[in-house]
Amino acid sequence: MRVFNTIAETRKFSGQARSEGKSIGFVPTMGALHPGHISLVERARRENELVVVSIFVNPIQFNNTADLEKYPRNLSSDLQLLKAAGCDVVFNPSVSEMYPEKIERHYDFGALATVMEGAFRPGHFDGVAIVVHKLFDIVLPHRAYFGEKDYQQLQIIRALVRQEDLQVNIVPCPISRENDGLARSSRNERLTPEMRNAAPFIYQTLLNAQALATNAESGRIIEYVYQQFANHPLLKLEYFVVANSDDLQPVSGKIKPGSFGFIAVFAGDIRLIDNIKLI
Ligand code: PAF
């Protein structure tokens, strides 16, 4: 496994691989890898001749400086895990390598970017789109793998690929969960033991909301979820939304097939997101 810190080395590798007709599978990450990331790498390994993983904590997608500073970083254990998973190249650039100049670019993803994460994390999706676009341009992947926990991010990236006519296949991958149902996230590392014990309540509540969905209207399900979190001692609900899985616009009245429940919860200053297909 090779580790490149520069854009030039990575471009050279990808250009060469492309000219030899080899397929490249790409898993973009911010490091602090967990079994969910590794399952994406393993899938990329099965479906491509070469696998590239990027590890880059992208500062411009954080709307909260403390969240950026506290974001877990475990480069040496990440590299061990990637080697064991059969990764060929790790691209691990510095911030100045990726952004030698101030980036001013804005994308217009319309209503897709103004709801949920877009509403609560201003500028987040511009930051994600800028880095993913740049990474695609460097790595030249045939396929890129994204987890469905960040479902809105996945839809934004699909929109980016359509808008910019990028020649990459976006491969969505199911949410990876701990045995108790908690969606795997690098941020889980920061949970105290008490918070970690409490956190499966998020998925449990989503399952209960799903059970309600065949008979109840969207407003009733939303009310149910808010009630569950109202007096929770450790978990604070930021939002729960019932939305259509394509355009992510809110669903009112009877739940239609393809509606999802999307949730964001704070445990202390740690923000956790999750989602579930309701019907
Ligand atoms: O999902 C993530 O880890 C990040 O948002 C991504 C796609 C690597 C872009 O920085």
CA 252 to ligand 1 center in whole angstroms: 31
Q: Is residue 114 part of a domain?
A: yes
> Does ligand 1 have an atom closer than 6 angstroms to the CB of 152?
no
Choose which residue among 37, 57, 132, 133 to substitute to test ligand 1 binding: the one with the highest number of ligand atoms within 8 A of its C-beta: 132
Q: What's the pLDDT score for residue 104?
A: 86
- In what side-by-side order are the strands of the sheet with 143-147? 2-4, 89-91, 50-55, 24-29, 143-147, 169-173
User: Does 142 reside within a domain?
Assistant: yes
- Would you state the pLDDT for residue 22? 98
In a domain, 195, yes or no: yes
Distance between start and end Cα atoms, the chain? 43
Question: Is 180 within the bounds of a domain?
Answer: no
Backbone angles phi, psi at 78, to 5 degrees: -60, -45
**Rounded CA separation 116/47 (Å):** 32
- Does residue 105 share a domain with residue 53? yes
13 is a domain residue = yes
Ligand 1 pocket mutation pick from 128, 130, 161 by most atoms within 8 angstroms of CB: 128
**Would residue 68 count as lying in a domain?**
yes
Write down the pLDDT at residue 95: 98
270 lines ligand 1 (CB under 6 A): no
Residues 142 and 195 reside in one and the same domain: no
Task: Give the pLDDT score at 19.
Answer: 98
Indicate whether residue 157 lines ligand 1 (CB < 6 A). Answer: no
Query: Is 133 assigned a catalytic role?
Result: no
- The answer to whether 213 and 279 have CB atoms below 8 angstroms apart is yes
Nearest-CA residue for ligand 1 atom 1 is 29
A 10 A CB-CB count for 243 gives: 22
**Residue after which a domain boundary falls, among 150, 173, 196:** 173
Same domain, 152 and 210: no
Rounded to 10 degrees, what is the CA torsion of 167, 140, 109, 171? 70
Please tell me if the CB atom of residue 259 comes closer than 6 angstroms to any atom of ligand 1: no
At residue 129's C-alpha, the angle toward residues 161 and 123, to 5°, is 145
Is the residue at 181 inside a domain?
no
Query: Given this model, what pLDDT does residue 21 score?
Result: 98
Per-residue pLDDT 10s for the chain (279 aa) are 999 999 999 999 999 999 999 999 999 999 999 999 999 999 999 999 999 999 999 999 999 999 999 999 999 999 999 999 999 999 999 999 999 999 889 999 999 999 999 999 999 999 999 999 999 999 999 999 999 999 999 999 999 999 999 999 999 999 999 999 999 999 999 999 999 999 999 999 999 999 999 999 999 999 999 999 999 999 999 999 999 999 999 999 999 999 999 999 999 999 999 999 999
Regarding the beta carbon of 55 and ligand 1, being less than 6 Å apart is answered no
Residues 261 and 144 in one domain: no
Q: How many domains, in total, are found in the chain?
A: 2
State the closest ligand 1 atom to the C-alpha of 58, by its place in the atom list counted from 1. 10
Nearest CA to ligand 1 atom 5: 128
pLDDT score recorded for residue 269 = 97
Q: Tokens 């250009």 label which residue?
A: 15
Residue 236 in 3-state DSSP?
strand
Q: What is the extent of the structural domain holding 232?
A: 186-277
Q: Are 44 and 23 in contact (CB under 8 A)?
A: no
What CATH number should be reported for the domain holding residue 235? 3.30.1300.10
For the Cβ of 218 lying below 6 angstroms from any atom of ligand 1, the answer is no
Residue 120 domain-assigned?
yes
CB neighbourhood size of 97 (10 A): 15
Q: Is the domain of 165 the same as that of 190?
A: no
